[in-house]
Amino acid sequence: MKENVGAMGTVDRENTDDGDNGFRVKEGRGEERNSGSDTPRAPEKTVGNAGGKKSVGVVAIGGPTASGKSRLAIALAKKLGGQVISCDSMQVYRGMDVGTGKISGEQAKGIRHRLIDIADPSQSFSLSEYIALARKAILEVEEEGDLPILCGGTGLYLDHVLMGTALSEAPADESIRRELERLDSAKLYEMLQKIDPESAFATHPNNRKRVIRALEIYRASGTTKTQWDLRSREKESPYGVKRILLIPQNRELLYGAIDARVDEMFKQGLEVEARALFERHPSPTAAQAIGYKEFLPYFSGDATLEQVKQKIKQASRNYAKRQLTWFRKMEKDALCLDPWLPLEQQVLAAVSYIQRDMGETAEEIPKTPF
C-alpha cells in the first residue's frame, strides 16, 4: 500500500490492504529517558498479528540526506516507546560526527540510538557486518519492550536488513573478482554503466568495492545486481515492516536544505574533523565519504576552502538524487511524507499508518511532547 501525505497535509491512498504487521508498541512516552533507565514502562499492547510468523514489528524511516529522518524517528520513538537503529553506512565510524550529520545528545531527546560510533575509521566495516549487528539490535530492542525504528539514508543497508537476505546468497567468484581488481576505477564504472545502468546510477564511481561486486554478480550469474535486488525484495520479510519515506515534492527545497546543512557543518568545524580523520589513516571506505574526501586537494594546497565547500554541496546533491532513485522503488509499500510537512502532522500520519490494524485513529493516541 502506498500513501502520500503532501506539504498541505493531503492524503492519497492507493491501496488499503496492509496485511499483518506484528507490532508491539506502547501507549506513549510522557517523559524523556534513555534505554536502560529505571523509568517504569508504559503498558504494552499488540498491534497486528504479533502471535503469528512475523513476531517483530519494525518501523523503517528512509529518505534523502537533509530530509529530517532523525527528527521524525526521535518524535515517533517518544510517542510510541521506541529506540532508533541507525541505518547509515558512515555514522558507524567514530570521529566522523559533523560530516555525517550525527545527532547530538541534546537532539536525541533521551532516545537511545544504536549502531552509531561502533567502528574505527582506520578499519573497514562491511555491509555483512552491519546486517548482523542490525538484526541483533532489532531483537534486543524488541526484547526490551521497545519498538525498533530503523532510520537512515543508506537504502542498500535498509533493504538487506528488512528482507532478511544474506549477502552470501548472491553469486561470488574470486577469480572474476581478482580479474576486475586489475582494472582502474573509471573503466570498471564504464562497464557497470553498460550492463547495469540503474546500479551504476545508485553507486558512486569511486566506490570500487561496490562497483566490482556488481560486476562480479553479473559475470558469475548473467543476472545484473539490480535484477538480483528485485528478486530479494520479492521475498517475504521476516519482520512486520512499516516503511515511512520522506520524499520531497519540490527538489529545489531539498537542495536548499542540503546547501544550508553544509554551511552549518563548516561552522561546526568540519575542516578540523576532516584533517583529524586523514591524520588517522582512514580505511578506503571511510576515506571516500562525502564531506571528507573533498578536503584532500585543500590539504595538499591545490584547492581553496570555498571550492571544497561547493564540491561537498554538489556531491551531496548528487547523492540525494541517487537516494531518491533507490527509495522510489519502495514507494508502493510505504507511507510517503513530504519533508516540509510540519513535524506534528508527520507524526500523526505516521502513527495512524503504523497502528491502523488496531482500528485506532491518530486522535486516540496519547499526546506526548515533541
Work out how many domains the chain is built from and give that number.
2
Position 117 scores a pLDDT of 97
- Per residue in 228-238, pLDDT tens? 777 666 567 78
24-38, 120-134, 293-307: range with highest mean pLDDT? 293-307
Closest to 3 measured CA to CA, from 326, 11, 370: 11
* Residue 356 DSSP class: G
pTM recorded for the entire structure:
0.75
- For residue 101, what is the domain's CATH number? 3.40.50.300
Residues 192 and 153 in one domain: no
Same domain, 99 and 187: no
8 found inside a domain:
yes
Domain membership flag for residue 309: no
- To the nearest whole percent, how much of the chain has pLDDT over 90? 57
What is the C-alpha to C-alpha distance for residues 119 and 289, in angstroms, rounded to an integer? 15
C-beta atoms surrounding 124 within 10 Å: 13
Same domain as 21, residue 43: yes
Rounded CA-CA distance 6/316 in Å is 24
In a domain, 30, yes or no: yes
Least trusted range by pLDDT, from 20-29, 227-236, 313-322: 20-29
Residue 40 lies in domain = 3-164+237-255+327-364
What CATH number does the domain containing 183 carry? 1.10.20.140
Q: What digits encode the pLDDT tens for the residues 85-133?
A: 999 999 999 999 999 999 999 999 999 999 999 999 998 888 889 999 9
Residue 158 shares a structural domain with residue 179? no
Q: How far is CA 356 from CA 76, 126, 133, 362, in A?
A: 15, 36, 30, 9
Determine the Cα–Cα distance for residues 298 and 300; give it in Å rounded to an integer.
Answer: 5
Looking at the structure, tell me whether residues 151 and 36 fall in a common domain. Answer: yes
Q: Which residue intervals of the chain are DSSP H helices?
A: 69-80, 105-108, 127-143, 155-163, 174-181, 185-195, 197-201, 208-221, 225-234, 251-267, 270-279, 284-287, 296-299, 305-328, 343-355
Same domain, 86 and 216: no
